[in-house]
């Protein structure tokens, strides 16, 4: 693999670092009383939001429909995911240094699987919070569940929920696309070399 | 109120066409000039004093919408100010708890001669006090009692960089320089024994804290209003005086005999220098200084025991007197700092004095004798000119940014616009009725904002739907951007505004606090988590440290209280969101509710007098389940064997022992 592609591979690995700088996903809530909106930010290692106390405010609003309070501590993923990301980054840098195409392929496939697993896990949590409601909740709407959208918007009683990936996810996206490109370019570049030889 | 009678008589004798006046005064397109569409904000904040309600009202301009009432010297059952344990100390004085005052003059804090939007200073006239309102929270955060003063009317006037706030006494009283405070004297001894005082309150540049640095003990006149110089006159403050006759009775006549009273000119910088250089004497005093701590949300009172004073006769160059006609009220310095306009309420002209002429007169010693060792200028030596026939009963003048003065005429019930250039009257506009003060945004600063004028009228009579004998006062908004004044709007005001301040919204709004951070709450009885709530008995006092959050209290079931206990509910609002206050009220409490802002702790004292089960509840509609936000306290007969027990939802164990210290 050319030096250029090796550098590209290392950049692909490092782009995962965006996960530590930006949230992966954002859920926007809008209601008549919240014209400024409420934002829940899902990071690779924590939950945050548009303000310090956003989780508390989410939970206060959600307790009327009997949703379990959301706390960062209740998600084991937030504890081990950072290590997985760091492992991917280190492995990716090593792959870049070694410059083996096959390793690039393994890295990109594993990263894609991890990314999809992450999205699936996220959906399962949304489903759990949205359906596992306290039967003694003050507000009960027969048949109503409150699963926020995974992607896109949905009206949940007085709240309009909008869910979108954020800049952190771009890190995974770049990691997959750039390393995939390294794999493909690595192939097309090698061909002329072989015929010449 | 003789002037009021006079005003009414004149209005009636003009007679007949005041209905037409009303229509002519308002042109057709004014609605759009004051219309602020729903959801949009006003261009300016205005702070109107409440006079005898002891509060400040905040109105948006140009809409005239009431935005807030800030309680200062009066208890305010609406939010518990002066009723709850945290704010009661704010109203402590050397006369004990004084839950009312007559609040006359708001003045915004200044930097570089301009209002900086940090604090608003206001005076309490009746039991002399000066208060500071923090414009981040729109709360009264400090009240200082003024010793050696009676009727703190001539107050509070800030210097251009916020070095001092000055406060002069309206009534002179006999002072006991040995023992401190008010002395005894026969009322026949007014002329010899009564003195006035002007207080210099130092203001901390960082946090605004006030400290009474020193006073000047001045001749026994009545001191009415003041204003600071600017530019060339930056170091000077001017005070109007009346009753220079020193009448002790029927002042209505006694104080109206002299053709001229005085405008007192004081070099505040020199006074501060004299005080710093050891010219000041010290006398015993007894006055309260009350301050609210932002961290604990509690006010604390400190009793001060000393005050320093200067005597003008020992401080050459510090104080002069300018003869001014006749029983003057307002003294206003134009934006350039060169002209001092005196509004002699019984005078037939408006004298405009010149600061540069005054400087020259000091140099040339153009004096016409002395009063108590204070040189008196010759009238003509310092006079720039007079505005002839401005109207009847001039009270107060402010300035626009185009070289014009605007004066209220109480008796002829009009606002008169005149030019500083030629001292000619340019325009008159009738106002309804009998204006006291007016305010032009920034009209008392180096660079007036101009554009609007708000005039505050003392009499409304037929202007609104009648409400029985007791009527509101009114404010009228006038457009002063053109050659002719244009009446835009009038709106009722609370109690009696005596003066106002107005400031562009962008100087204040961005700093407005949305809620208090719970993490930063240092109240000794704050509870930051429902797990930590407690009910503890110490002798006959029971402390309930509880929380509120949408939509319940913790605890909401409390037992073990006995008749005659002093129960103190310390309620912490756990919310950390904008505009989610919770109120707290308990049946039979002999005070008021208390309204707790998010992140704050407030405490309500309650002494139950009969056994029973008492409900308490949230008084501010906080959420969809606000009506459910309630609880019960069980009060047992004295000596009953009911242990302290408290819970929310599921039962909790009582604490193993009641703590007794």
Residues B498 and B554 in one domain: no
B198/B104 same-domain check:
yes
Q: Which chain A residues are closer than 8 Å to B628 by Cβ?
A: 138
How many domains would you assign to chain A? Answer: 1
Average pLDDT over residues B396-419: 97
ipTM above 0.90, yes or no: no
What local confidence, expressed as pLDDT, does residue A69 receive? 92
Instruction: Name the average pLDDT for chain B.
Output: 93
Counting the structural domains of chain B, the total is 2
Alpha helices, DSSP H only, in chain A? 3-15, 18-21, 54-63, 77-98, 101-131, 167-196
- Yes or no, beta carbons of A60 and B550 under 8 Å apart: yes
Query: Of B511, B527, B559, which residue constitutes the final position of a domain?
Result: B511
pLDDT, position B235: 97
| Cβ contact, residue pair A57, B576, below 8 Å | yes
Residues of B in contact with A64 (CB under 8 A): 624-625
Q: Please identify which residue in the block is written with the tokens 């009350």.
A: B290
CATH of the domain at B626: 2.60.40.420
Contacts of B517 in chain A (CB under 8 A): 52
Is B576 in contact with A56 (Cβ distance < 8 A)?
Answer: yes
How high is the pLDDT of residue B570? 98
DSSP class per residue in A53-82: THHHHHHHHHHTTTPPPP-GGG-THHHHHH
Which run of H or of E encompasses B12?
helix B2-14
Residue B222 resides in a domain: yes
The encoded tokens of residue B70 equal 């800030």
**In angstroms, what separates the C-alpha of B623 from chain A's closest C-alpha?**
9
Per-residue pLDDT tens for B454-467?
999 999 999 999 99
Q: Is the pLDDT of residue B21 over 50?
A: no
Residue A179 in domain? yes
d(CA B46, CA B60): 6
Banded model confidence at residue B27, pLDDT cuts 50, 70, 90? low
Q: Domain containing A69: what range?
A: 3-188
Provide the shortest C-alpha distance from residue A122 to chain B (in Å). 27
As a whole number of angstroms, the distance between CA B198 and CA B266 comes to 10
Residues B317, B373, single domain; the answer is yes
Measured distance CA(B621)–CA(B599) in Å, rounded? 17
pLDDT in tens, A108-140: 999 999 999 999 999 999 999 999 998 888 888
The span from the CA of B547 to the CA of B569, in Å, is 10
Residue B20 pLDDT greater than 60, yes or no:
no
Residues B404 and B529 in one domain: no
CATH number, domain containing residue B472:
2.130.10.10
- The Cα–Cα gap between B458 and B437 comes to 9
Do B531 and B611 have their domain in common?
yes
Which residues, in sequence order, are bridge partners of residue B194? B174
Contacts of A139 in chain B (CB under 8 A): 624
Looking at the fold, whether B373 and B487 belong to one and the same domain comes out as: yes
Give residue B453's domain range.
2-15+43-511
Give per-residue pLDDT as tens, B120-155.
Answer: 999 999 999 999 999 999 999 999 999 999 999 999
Q: Please indicate whether, in this complex, the C-beta atoms of A60 and B575 are within 8 angstroms of each other.
A: yes
Question: By mean pLDDT, which of B72-81, B180-189, B435-444, B548-557 is the weakest?
Answer: B180-189
- Please name the member of A56, A57, A64 whose beta carbon is closest to the beta carbon of B625: A64
Q: How far does Cα B101 stand from its chain's mean position?
A: 10
Q: Does the pLDDT of residue A195 top 80, yes or no?
A: no
For residues B478 and B524, state if they share a domain: no
Who's near A126: CB < 8 A, 6+ residues apart? A147, A148, A150
For residue A153, the SS3 value is strand
CB-CB under 8 Å, A64 with B576: no
Cis ω for the linkage preceding B551 (within 30 of 0): yes
* B628 to chain A: closest CA residue: A138
Chain B positions contacting chain A at CB under 8 Å are 517, 549-550, 575-577, 624-625, 628
- Give pLDDT, residue B10: 45
Residue B182, exposed/middle/buried by CB under 10 A (0-12, 13-18, 19+)?
middle
pLDDT at B4 over 70: no
- Residues of chain A with Cβ-Cβ distance to B549 below 8 Å are 60
Q: Give a yes or no: residue A196 inside a domain.
A: no
Query: What is the least distance, in Å, from the CA of A74 to any CA of chain B?
Result: 18
Tell me if A197 is assigned to some domain. Answer: no
- CB < 8 Å to A37, chain B: none
Q: What is the pLDDT of residues B238-279, one digit of tens each?
A: 999 998 888 878 878 877 778 889 999 999 999 999 999 999
- Interval B450-499: pLDDT, tens: 999 999 999 999 999 999 999 999 999 999 999 999 999 999 999 999 99
Structure confidence by residue, pLDDT tens digits, A68-92:
999 988 899 999 999 999 999 999 9
Identify whether residues B240 and B256 lie together within a single domain.
yes
Among B488, B511, B534, which residue terminates a domain? B511
State which of B511, B546, B567 marks the end of a domain.
Answer: B511
> How high is the pLDDT of residue B345?
84
Region B561-588: mean pLDDT is 97
Q: B103 near B88, Cβ under 8 Å?
A: no
Find chain B residues with C-beta within 8 A of A57's C-beta.
Answer: 576-577
Q: Alpha-carbon distance A175 to A11, whole Å?
A: 8
Are A60 and B549 inside 8 Å of each other by CB? yes
* B522 and B506 in a common domain: no
Same domain (yes/no): B253, B293: yes
Which of B547, B577, B579 would you mutate first to test chain A, the one with the most A CBs within 10 A? B577
Q: Do the domain assignments include residue A193?
A: no
d(CA B490, CA A123): 59
The answer to the question of residue A194 being in a domain is no
DSSP reduced 3-state for B430: strand
Q: Running DSSP on this structure, what letter comes out for residue A87?
A: H
Residues in chain B closer than 8 A to A53 (CB atoms): 576-577
The answer to the question of residue A146 being in a domain is yes
Question: Among candidates A52, A25, A28, A51, which has minimal Cα distance to A39?
Answer: A28
Interval B408-421 mean pLDDT: 97
Q: Which chain B positions have a beta carbon within 8 Å of A52's beta carbon?
A: 517, 576
Rounded CA separation B438/B500 (Å): 7
Cβ pair B624:A56 closer than 8 A: no
Interface of A with B (CB under 8 A): 52-53, 56-57, 60, 64, 138-139
pLDDT for position B17 = 42
Could you write out the DSSP letters of every residue in B463-475? Answer: SSS--SS---EEE
A70 Cα to chain B: minimum distance (Å): 16
In this prediction, residue A192 has a pLDDT band, given cuts at 50, 70 and 90, of low
**In this structure, are B178 and B201 located in the same domain?**
yes
Domain annotation covers residue A108: yes
Instruction: Determine the residue of chain A that is closest to B576 in CA distance.
Output: A53
- In a domain, residue B659? The reply is no
Number of Cβ atoms within 10 Å of the Cβ of A2: 14
User: Contact at 8 Å (CB) between A38 and A131?
Assistant: no
pLDDT category of residue B528 using cuts at 50, 70 and 90: very high
pLDDT surpasses 70 at B76? yes
Q: Are residues B544 and B567 in contact, defined by beta-carbon separation less than 8 angstroms? A: yes
Domain identity same for B558 and B506 = no
* Partner-chain contact B577 A53, CB within 8 Å: yes
Q: Which of B517, B575, B625 shows the shortest C-beta gap to A138?
A: B625
Q: Which residues of A touch B629 (CB under 8 A)?
A: none
């Amino acid at each position: 693999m050319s030096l250029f592609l090796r550098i590209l591979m290392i950049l692909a690995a490092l782009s995962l670092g965006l996960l530590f700088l930006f949230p992966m996903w954002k859920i926007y809530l809008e209601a008549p009383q919240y014209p400024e909106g409420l934002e829940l930010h899902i990071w690779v290692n924590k939950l945050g939001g548009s303000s310090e106390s956003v989780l508390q405010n989410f939970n206060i609003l959600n307790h009327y429909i009997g949703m379990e309070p959301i706390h960062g501590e209740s998600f084991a993923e937030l504890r081990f995911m950072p290590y997985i990301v760091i492992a991917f980054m280190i492995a990716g840098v090593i792959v870049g240094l070694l410059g083996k195409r096959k390793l690039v392929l393994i890295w990109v496939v594993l990263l894609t699987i991890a990314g999809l697993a992450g999205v699936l896990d996220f959906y399962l949590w949304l489903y759990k919070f949205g359906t596992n409601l306290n039967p003694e909740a003050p507000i009960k709407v027969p048949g109503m569940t409150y699963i926020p959208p995974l992607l896109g918007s949905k009206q949940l009683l007085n709240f309009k929920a909008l869910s979108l990936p954020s800049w952190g996810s771009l890190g995974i996206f770049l990691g997959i696309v750039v390393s995939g490109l390294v794999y493909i370019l690595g192939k097309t570049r090698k061909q002329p070399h072989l015929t010449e030889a | 109120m003789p002037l009021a009678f006079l005003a009414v008589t004149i209005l009636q004798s003009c007679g007949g066409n005041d209905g037409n006046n009303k229509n002519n005064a308002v042109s057709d397109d004014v609605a759009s000039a004051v219309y602020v569409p729903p959801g949009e904000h006003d261009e300016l904040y205005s702070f109107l004093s409440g006079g005898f309600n002891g509060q400040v009202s905040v109105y948006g301009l140009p809409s005239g919408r009431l935005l807030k009432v800030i309680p200062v010297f009066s208890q305010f059952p609406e939010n518990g100010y002066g009723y709850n344990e945290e704010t009661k100390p704010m109203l402590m004085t050397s006369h004990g708890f004084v839950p009312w005052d007559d609040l006359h003059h708001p003045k915004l804090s200044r930097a570089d001669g301009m209002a900086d939007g940090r604090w608003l200073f206001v005076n309490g006239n009746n039991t002399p006090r000066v208060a500071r309102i923090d414009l981040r929270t729109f709360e009264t955060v400090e009240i200082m009692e003024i010793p050696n003063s009676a009727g703190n009317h001539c107050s509070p006037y800030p210097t251009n960089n916020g070095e001092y706030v000055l406060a002069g006494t309206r009534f002179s009283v006999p002072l006991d320089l040995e023992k401190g405070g008010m002395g005894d004297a026969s009322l026949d001894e007014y002329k010899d024994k009564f003195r006035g005082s002007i207080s210099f309150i130092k203001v901390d540049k960082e946090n605004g804290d006030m400290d009474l640095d020193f006073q000047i003990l001045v001749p026994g006149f009545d001191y009415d209003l003041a204003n600071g110089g600017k530019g060339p006159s930056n170091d000077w403050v001017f005070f109007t005086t009346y009753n220079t006759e020193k009448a002790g009775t029927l002042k209505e006549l006694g104080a109206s005999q002299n053709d001229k009273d005085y405008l007192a000119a004081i070099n505040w910088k020199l006074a501060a220098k004299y005080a710093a250089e050891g010219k000041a004497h010290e006398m015993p005093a007894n006055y309260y200084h009350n301050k609210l701590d932002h961290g604990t949300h509690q006010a604390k009172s400190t009793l001060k025991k000393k005050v320093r004073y200067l005597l003008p006769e020992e401080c050459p160059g510090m104080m002069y007197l300018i003869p001014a006609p006749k029983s003057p009220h307002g003294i206003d310095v134009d934006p350039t700092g060169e002209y001092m306009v005196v509004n002699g309420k019984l005078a037939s002209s408006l004298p405009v004095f010149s600061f540069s002429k005054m400087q020259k007169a000091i140099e040339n010693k153009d004096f016409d004798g002395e009063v108590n060792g204070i040189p008196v200028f010759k009238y003509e030596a310092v006079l720039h000119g007079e505005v002839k026939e401005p109207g009847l009963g001039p009270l107060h003048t402010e300035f626009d940014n185009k070289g014009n003065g605007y004066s209220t005429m109480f008796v002829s019930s009009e606002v008169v616009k005149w030019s500083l250039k030629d001292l000619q009257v340019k325009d008159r506009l009738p106002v309804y009725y009998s204006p006291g003060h007016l305010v032009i945004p920034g009209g008392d600063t180096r660079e007036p904002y101009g554009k609007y004028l708000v005039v505050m009228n003392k009499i409304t009579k037929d202007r609104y739907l009648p409400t029985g004998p007791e009527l509101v006062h009114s404010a009228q908004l006038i457009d002063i951007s053109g050659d002719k004044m244009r009446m835009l709007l009038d709106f009722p005001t609370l109690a009696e505004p005596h003066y106002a301040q107005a400031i562009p919204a962008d100087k204040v709004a961005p700093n407005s606090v949305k809620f208090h951070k719970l993490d930063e709450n240092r109240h000794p009885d704050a509870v930051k988590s429902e797990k930590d709530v407690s009910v503890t008995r110490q002798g006959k006092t029971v402390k309930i440290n509880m929380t509120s959050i949408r939509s319940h209290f913790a605890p909401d079931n409390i037992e073990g209280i006995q008749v005659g206990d002093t129960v103190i509910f310390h309620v912490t609002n756990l919310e950390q969101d904008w505009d989610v206050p919770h109120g707290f009220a308990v049946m039979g409490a002999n005070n008021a509710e208390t309204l707790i802002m998010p992140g704050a702790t407030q405490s309500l004292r309650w002494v139950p007098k009969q056994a029973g089960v008492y409900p308490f509840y949230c008084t501010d509609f906080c959420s969809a389940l606000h009506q459910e936000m309630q609880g019960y306290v069980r009060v047992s007969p004295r000596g009953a064997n009911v242990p302290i027990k408290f819970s929310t939802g599921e039962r909790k164990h009582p604490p193993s022992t009641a703590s007794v210290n």
